[in-house]
Chains A and B, each alone.
Chain A
Amino acid sequence: MDGIHDLGGKQGFGPVNFVISKEIYHHPWQLKANALSAALVAAGLFNMDEYRHAIERMEPRHYLNASYYERVLTACASLCVEKGVTTAAELEKLAGGNFPLARPSAPGRHARKDVADFAVGERVRVRNEFVPGHVRMPGYIRGKTGVVVQMSPPFPFPDAAAHQLGHDMEPTFDVRFDTAELWPDSSDKATVTVAVFRSYLEKAA
């Protein structure tokens, strides 16, 4: 989905608040929320793709205003409700107020069966696709051309795994793009290398 989470290349943000600190959590609830997400994944209630997609499905204004660990919590709560662990009404009763949850999911999809692996050094194009469900293609590479620099072992295909559509497995290809290709005339000179699932790619002409 073209969600608000897909931030790469968005303009208008100010300086990074670069503070070097050993402190990971600033409030006990942040640690609790993080521990809860880890425990629920370990218990098999949801996989990492379902978890990431639940964060992406947060209402955009909620997403932008929530801290990182509020997003973690919202994903856990939404998936607990969607999987029948509890109900929204019960959570609101326990919490003593409104409890904003993620919005419903659109359908997922399977990996393509008609794509062969790409070779290191090969030029590839990111397919011009608009996927309603979970996808791990950042919008800034859609339709863009880059060069394969390396290949990963097979991973669960996120577009399927986030929707419990079975265990499609696919390698990713680290594809290197020039920023001049991604954002002509409006970027710093560099390359950006993105881990791209095979189904998202096609040979460049």
Chain B
Amino acid sequence: MNSSDNIADIARRVDAVEAAALDQGLVRPGHLQQFTHKVEAEWTPAVGAAIVAHAWSNPAFKARLLKNGIAAAAELGATMPPHHRHLVVLENSESLHNLICCTLCSCTAYTVIGMPPDWYKDLEYRARVVRESRTVLTEMGMALPESMEIRVWDTTADTRYMVLPYRPPHTAGWSEKQLAALVSKESMIGTARLEPPYRAEETKGA
């Protein structure tokens, strides 16, 4: 950058591009409200949590989900944008831990697991997690035993990945609603697990 001085305020740069796009009819007035609704009300981790809870409760659905993620997610009303042509669901077990990242940018299945968190988009996570997964997870508060196999998935194409967390053993008999309340965005990325000792045993919600 030769002209690093006098860089325009970032908010004014955004407004300048938006004004040019509006002027050319590329963006309709009201697009911001529509987008805000999608981000806040539609593309939330609750979508993925419902899929996880249903997969834990219904073995036939889980088999379909592991075979064709987009089709199975659609059974529950979840949709993906046109360029996400494939959803691969990665099942964790007692001894296997899956973890997703995007080293080249910050791709995620955002319509299913929610918008990517800040830390997922940060340079530190992108640079380090493929090479030092166990160290990074430990630093993030989840020390996995040596016996736990770690599989990292780098989202370099338009296949999207989602972790199916390991169901905590103490949740036998819980309803799908109670199960879904346990499932976090982090657990579907793979930086959290839901069973003790990684998370305290909880009593079931209402």
Task: Say if A and B assemble together.
Answer: yes
Contact A137 B156 (CB under 8 A): yes
Contact B20 A52 (CB under 8 A): no
Q: Which residues of B contact A36 (CB under 8 A)?
A: 14, 17-18, 21, 27
Contact A91 B32 (CB under 8 A): no
Interface centre among B1, B134, B141 (most CB of A within 10 A): B1
Partner of A24, one of B18, B21, B39, B134: B39
Q: Is A147 an interface residue when CB atoms closer than 8 A count as contact? A: no
Interface centre among A38, A96, A174, A192 (most CB of B within 10 A): A192
Bitwise, A8-50 to B at CB < 8 A (1) or not (0) is: 1111011111111100100111011111101110010101100
Which bucket holds chain A's interface residue count?
Answer: 35 or more
Bound complex: CA of A112 vs CA of B132, how far in Å? 34
Contact B130 A192 (CB under 8 A): yes
Q: Which residues of B contact A5 (CB under 8 A)?
A: 104-105
Residue in chain A with minimal CB distance to B185:
A20
Contacts A8-B130, A16-B119, A39-B27 given: A27-B11 contact, CB under 8 Å? yes
Contact A55 B8 (CB under 8 A): no
Contact A152 B85 (CB under 8 A): yes
Q: Is B191 an interface residue when CB atoms closer than 8 A count as contact? A: yes
Contact A16 B13 (CB under 8 A): no
Contact A15 B156 (CB under 8 A): no
Contacts A7-B126, A18-B141, A85-B20 given: A152-B86 contact, CB under 8 Å? yes
Q: Is A90 an interface residue when CB atoms closer than 8 A count as contact? A: yes
Partner of B133, one of A15, A64, A140, A188: A188
Bitwise, A84-109 to B at CB < 8 A (1) or not (0) is: 01100011101111111000000000
Contact A195 B27 (CB under 8 A): no
Bound complex: CA of A17 vs CA of B124, how far in Å? 8
Bound complex: CA of A24 vs CA of B45, how far in Å? 12
Bound complex: CA of A7 vs CA of B39, how far in Å? 27
Contact B131 A43 (CB under 8 A): no
Which bucket holds chain B's interface residue count?
Answer: 35 or more
Contact A64 B15 (CB under 8 A): no
Bitwise, B134-171 to A at CB < 8 A (1) or not (0) is: 11100111000000011111111111000000000000
Q: Give the contacts of B14-41 with A (CB-CB under 8 A).
A: 14-21, 23-24, 26-28, 31-32, 35-36, 39
Contact A95 B15 (CB under 8 A): yes
Nearest CB in chain B: distance from A94 CB, A: 4
Nearest CB in chain B: distance from A83 CB, A: 10
Nearest CB in chain B: distance from A67 CB, A: 8
Bound complex: CA of A121 vs CA of B86, how far in Å? 20
A interface with B by C-beta (< 8 Å): 5-11, 13-21, 24, 27-29, 31-36, 38-40, 43, 45, 47-48, 52, 55-56, 59, 61-62, 64, 68, 70, 73, 76-77, 80, 85-86, 90-92, 94-100, 136-138, 140, 150, 152-153, 155, 158, 172, 174, 176, 179, 182-183, 186-197
B interface with A by C-beta (< 8 Å): 1, 3-21, 23-24, 26-28, 31-32, 35-36, 39, 83, 85-86, 88, 103-106, 115, 117-119, 121-136, 139-141, 149-159, 184, 186, 191
